[in-house]
Amino acid sequence: GAVVSQHPSWVICKSGTSVKIECRSLDFQATTMFWYRQFPKQSLMLMATSNEGSKATYEQGVEKDKFLINHASLTLSTLTVTSAHPEDSSFYICSASRNSNTGELFFGEGSRLTVL
Amino acid sequence: GDSVTQMEGPVTLSEEAFLTINCTYTATGYPSLFWYVQYPGEGLQLLLKATKADDKGSNKGFEATYRKETTSFHLEKGSVQVSDSAVYFCALNGGSQGNLIFGKGTKLSVKP
């Protein structure tokens, strides 16, 4: 089946530093990838839609200058949390669609970010 | 806008008990409906889906029927196992670019 891989799965950083999370579709090309954020005991909230070769589309309330998204190829999207603060600590999950007709998304394992 | 509401957990059951996790939705148009499962320490995996009214999705003993009249997609399993312990998310594809809209998730714990 389709596989989406995220890296790193765990990252701890100091406040003020930047962290990059990679999302790769391993066996299919994904023109669109989605970045979600999951808060404890809450649902997944869509942060942005990443489109290959163009600018990402951010959801309302998501700071585009803080959460930089780059979708440079059909198999790789990156999320960079810039100048991270403790409130950015969360579980970030990427997903990709292989077949838009089915609506199914394939999810990465998620990346747990802890900002000290 | 589109939304998904699912029963709050946690849900704790004994092995072989019957499971129902309620899910209702609000949407314009006719979305596809999904149940995703997140096992401890793992990413979300598709459990089952239904793409149109009256469709029944089923997998691993779980099933859910797309009920347009009640805008529901309740998840059921006749006899749960300890290995079913996980968080279950109901979702619909409501975005213009194909993103999924999720419910808050329901944590299921099955005791031996």
The string of pLDDT tens digits covering residues A66-110 is: 999 998 888 999 999 999 999 999 999 999 987 666 678 889 989
B84 by DSSP, 3-state: which?
A: helix
Q: Identify whether B10 is preceded by a cis peptide bond (ω within 30 of 0).
A: yes
Residue A84 near residue A15, CB atoms below 8 Å: yes
Residue whose tokens read 């314009």 = B28
Strand partners of residue A25 = A4
In chain A, what residues touch B51 (CB-CB under 8 Å)? 102-103
Q: Which amino acid is at A67?
A: F
Does the pLDDT of residue B96 top 70, yes or no?
no
In the predicted model, what is the mean pLDDT of chain B? 93
Contact A14, B79 (CB under 8 A): no
B21, pLDDT greater than 80: yes
B31 interfacial to chain A (CB closer than 8 Å): yes
Which residues in chain B touch residue A32, judged by CB atoms under 8 angstroms apart? 97-98
- CB-CB under 8 Å, B31 with A103: yes
- Within 8 A of A109 by CB-CB distance, chain B residues are 42-43
Question: What is the per-residue pLDDT for A1?
Answer: 59
Please determine, for residue B49, whether its predicted confidence score (pLDDT) is greater than 90.
yes
Extract the tokens encoding B34. 């999904």
Distance CA A41, CA B101 (A): 16
Segment B67-78, tens digit of pLDDT: 999 999 999 999
Q: What are the two backbone dihedrals, phi and then psi, of residue A86, each rounded to the nearest 5 degrees? A: -55, -30
- How does pLDDT run across A6-48, given as a tens digit for each residue? 999 999 999 999 999 999 999 888 888 999 999 877 788 999 9
Q: How confident is the model at residue B95 (pLDDT cuts 50, 70, 90)?
A: low
Least CB-CB distance to B100: which of A42, A100, A105?
A: A105
B49 reaches A (C-beta below 8 A)? yes
Contact A93 B36 (CB under 8 A): no
A52 within 8 A of A96, measured Cβ to Cβ: no
Contacts of A93 in chain B (CB under 8 A): 43-44
The band of B9, judged by pLDDT with boundaries at 50, 70 and 90, is confident
When CB atoms are compared, the residue of B44, B98, B103 closest to A107 is B44
Q: How far is A107 from chain B (nearest CA, A)?
A: 6
Output the pLDDT for position A81.
97
Taking CB atoms and an 8 Å limit, are A103 and B44 in contact across chains?
A: no
pLDDT of residue B8: 85
- Chain A, 24-63: which have a CB under 8 Å from a chain B CB? 32, 34, 41-44, 46, 49, 51, 57
Say which residue, B94 or A45, is predicted with more confidence. A45
Q: What is the pLDDT of residue A92?
A: 96
> Smallest CA–CA separation between A82 and chain B, in Å?
24
- Separation CA A77–CA B23 (nearest Å): 32
